[in-house]
Each structure stands twice: as C-alpha cells, then as structure tokens.
C-alpha cells in the first residue's frame, strides 16, 4: 500500500464536511428569507417601517405643535398648511403625524397587554388541564358570544372613556381570542415527551411555560400578534370615530375622520377639501393592509400554510 501524499498536512475529511455544514447565523438566515420575500411582503414591511419611523420621530417631523390652534378653521391646502386645518384650526398634517404615534402606540400597548393576559392564561390552561382550564374556556366562550364592539360600548358607557380604560377594556376583550389560539397550539406541545421530562425533573410551571412550550408555539403567536394588532387598531379607530374612544385634544385618526367629515360635502367646489377627511381613514386602511401582507407572508414561511389550492 502506498501512502498518497497529495493532501495537505493535517487534513481531515470530517473537518472539511463540518466546515460546509457550518450553521448560518440567525441574521444570515433572516436575510436569505427576506431576499426571497414576495413583492407584497416587501411593500408591507416598508409601509410598516415608515409608519413606525413617523410615530417615533413625530415631534421632529411635525411642522407645528399637536394642539396648536391657528386663526382659520377649515383652511384650504396651501404652503403653510399642507393639508389645511381642521374644525378649530389645527394643522391637519401635524395631527396626522401625531395621530400615528397615539393611535399606533395605544393599539400596540393594548395588543401586548392582551397577549400577556390571553397568552399567559392560555399556556396555564394548556399545561394544567384541570377545573381551571374548564372554567377559563367556558368564560371565554361566553365572552366571545357578545360582539366585542358592542361589549366595549357597554363597558365604555359605565367607565368614563379615557385612554387607560380604553386600553384595559379592549385588551381584556381581545385576550379571549389570544387565549383560544394559545391554548389550542400549546395543548399539542404540552403532551410532548420533553415537556413531561421537564416536569418530572421538578421544574416549576413558569419555567416549563417559558423554556419548553413558548419557543415551540412562537410562529403562530407572532402571526396572530400581527392580525390582533390590526384588529385592535381598527376597533380603537372605530370607537374613536364613534366619539367614545380616544378623547380630544389627543390627536388620533378615528376622531379626525369624524371631526372633518362635513368637509366632504364641499368636494365639488374644492376636491382637496373633500379628500381631507379621507386622509386619516386611508392611513388606517393602508396600515391594516400592510400588516396583513406581512402576516400572510410570515404564515407562508413558517408553516408552509397555503390558502386553499
């Protein structure tokens, strides 16, 4: 047997194979996924990023102060007021920019809170499966039997409309849906052997929830977060539009539509004025569409879930 010496000193075949199989870092993997994202997902992400940017830097972007009042109410579009002024003479563009911050901020806090309540209880119910699970599931069934907008209206007639009561009411009502989903997906994971092992090892309920179950149910929860956010966002906008949600002088898109709605009657004389009340409504619609596009793509990616076909 002759010893072939073509190979460099210290070569090992397993090292070469190992080098090829080196795992890509999380950032590299996300970038690869992003590059393959369809046009609609890119559109959605860019729009969402734009909204977040406007919301974060509102005080620097807005030409005037949030509640600054000018002499002419319902002023037409011109250089000083890009989109005119509203019924008491506040700059529409400024209110739109601050509205991004208020409307989105409140919707985000509400969604986070509803995930904290619904997700936490859902996990507990899925692991423990005792009377607590029964009780929570039946309570959620009843709460979901009332349309949430109607229930929110009843509660808002009792507690005075304020940002805090609005956030609490919507978060509790919305947490029922989060509870349902979390419980449903967590139950499938909770019967896995590794969860059993962790419990036998004597880990506490909280530890099992956080380290064994939560990482395995993340993708559907993240997608649900996007959907719930747009739903909460629409509900808050609708309540504000009805005049029982976010109260003045806080700038918010729902109440802006309501306040400027009368301008629509003048569309035939000045089309720009007629469009003014539609701007905040379009801002609401565009964000919802964008979030839906991103969630759609994310669901495709993580679960291979395709709608029909």
Partner 1 sequence: MHPVLVTIVKRLLLGVVTLFVVSAIIFSSISLLPGDFGEAVLGQAATEDTVAAFRKELGLDKPAPARYLDWVKSVAKGDLGTSFSGRSASGQDRSRSVAEMIAPRLKNTLFLASVTALIAVPLALFLGLTAALYRNSWYDRSVNVTTLTTISMPEFFVAYVLILIFASLWKVFPSLATVDIDMAMGERLNRIALPAITLTLVIVAHMMRMTRAAIINLLASPYIEMARLKGASRSEVILKHALPNAWAPIATVIAFNLAYLVVGVVVVEVVFVYPGIGQLMVDSVSSRDIPVVQACALIFAGTYILLNLIADVIGIVTNPRLLHPR
Task: Establish if 187 lies at the interface with partner 1 (CB under 8 A).
Answer: no
Q: Is the C-alpha dihedral spanning 79, 82, 86, 91 positive or negative? A: negative
**What whole-number distance in Å separates Cα of residue 99 and Cα of residue 89?**
16
Question: Which one among 116, 222, 282, 305 touches partner 1, defined by CB under 8 A?
Answer: 282
**What whole-number distance in Å separates Cα of residue 142 and Cα of residue 295?**
28
112 burial (CB, 10 Å; 0-12 / 13-18 / 19+) is middle
Shortest distance, CB of residue 43 to partner 1, whole angstroms? 13
Query: Which one, 208 or 232, has the nearer CB to partner 1?
Result: 232
What x/- string results for residues 148 through 177 when contact with partner 1 is judged by CB under 8 A? Answer: xxxx-xxxxxxx------------------
**91: which DSSP letter?**
B
Residues 174 and 116 sit within 8 Å (Cβ to Cβ): no
Task: Establish if 145 lies at the interface with partner 1 (CB under 8 A).
Answer: yes
SS3 at position 85: strand
Backbone angles phi, psi at 262, to 5 degrees: -65, -20
Shortest distance, CB of residue 36 to partner 1, whole angstroms? 22
**202: which DSSP letter?**
T
User: What six digits make up the tokens of 53?
Assistant: 């940017």
Task: Establish if 277 lies at the interface with partner 1 (CB under 8 A).
Answer: yes
Shortest distance, CB of residue 121 to partner 1, whole angstroms? 19
Q: Tell how far CA 215 is from the center of its chain.
A: 19
What x/- string results for residues 86 through 125 when contact with partner 1 is judged by CB under 8 A? Answer: ----------------------------------------
Question: Which one among 108, 117, 198, 278 touches partner 1, defined by CB under 8 A?
Answer: 278
Task: Establish if 45 lies at the interface with partner 1 (CB under 8 A).
Answer: no
SS3 at position 186: helix
Query: Which one, 118 or 280, has the nearer CB to partner 1?
Result: 280
Question: Which one among 292, 300, 301, 302 touches partner 1, defined by CB under 8 A?
Answer: 292
Residues 171 and 110 sit within 8 Å (Cβ to Cβ): yes
**What whole-number distance in Å separates Cα of residue 152 and Cα of residue 240?**
12
What x/- string results for residues 227 through 266 when contact with partner 1 is judged by CB under 8 A? Answer: ---x---x--xx--xxxx------------x---x--xxx
Task: Establish if 43 lies at the interface with partner 1 (CB under 8 A).
Answer: no
Question: Which residues lie near partner 1 (CB under 8 A)?
Answer: 141-142, 145-151, 153-159, 230, 234, 237-238, 241-244, 257, 261, 264-268, 271, 274-275, 277-278, 281-282, 284-285, 288-289, 292, 307-309
């Amino acid at each position: 047997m002759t010893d072939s010496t073509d190979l460099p000193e210290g070569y090992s075949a397993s090292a070469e194979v190992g080098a090829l199989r080196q795992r890509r870092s999380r950032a590299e993997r996300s970038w690869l996924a992003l590059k393959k994202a369809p046009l609609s997902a890119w559109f959605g992400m860019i729009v969402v990023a734009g909204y977040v940017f406007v919301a974060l830097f509102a005080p620097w972007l807005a030409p005037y102060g949030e509640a600054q009042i000018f002499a002419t109410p319902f002023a037409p579009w011109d250089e000083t007021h890009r989109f005119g002024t509203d019924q008491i003479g506040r700059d529409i563009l400024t209110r739109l920019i601050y509205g991004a911050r208020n409307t989105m901020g409140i919707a985000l806090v509400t969604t986070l809170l509803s995930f904290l309540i619904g997700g936490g209880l859902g996990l507990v119910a899925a692991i423990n499966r005792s009377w607590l699970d029964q009780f929570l599931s039946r309570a959620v069934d009843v709460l979901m039997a009332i349309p949430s907008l109607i229930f929110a209206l009843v509660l808002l007639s009792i507690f005075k409309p304020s940002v805090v009561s609005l956030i609490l009411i919507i978060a509790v009502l919305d947490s029922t849906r989060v509870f349902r989903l979390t419980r449903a997906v967590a139950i499938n994971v909770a019967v896995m052997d590794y969860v059993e092992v962790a419990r036998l090892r004597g880990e506490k309920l909280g530890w099992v929830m956080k380290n064994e179950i939560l990482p395995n149910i993340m993708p559907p929860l993240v997608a649900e977060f996007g959907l719930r956010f747009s739903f909460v966002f629409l509900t808050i906008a609708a309540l504000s539009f009805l005049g029982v949600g976010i109260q003045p002088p806080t700038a918010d898109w729902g109440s802006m539509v309501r306040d400027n709605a009368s301008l629509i009657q003048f569309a035939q004389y000045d089309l720009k004025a007629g469009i003014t009340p539609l701007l905040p409504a379009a801002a609401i619609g565009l964000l919802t569409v964008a979030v839906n596009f991103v969630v759609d793509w994310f669901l495709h990616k993580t679960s291979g879930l395709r709608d029909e076909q």
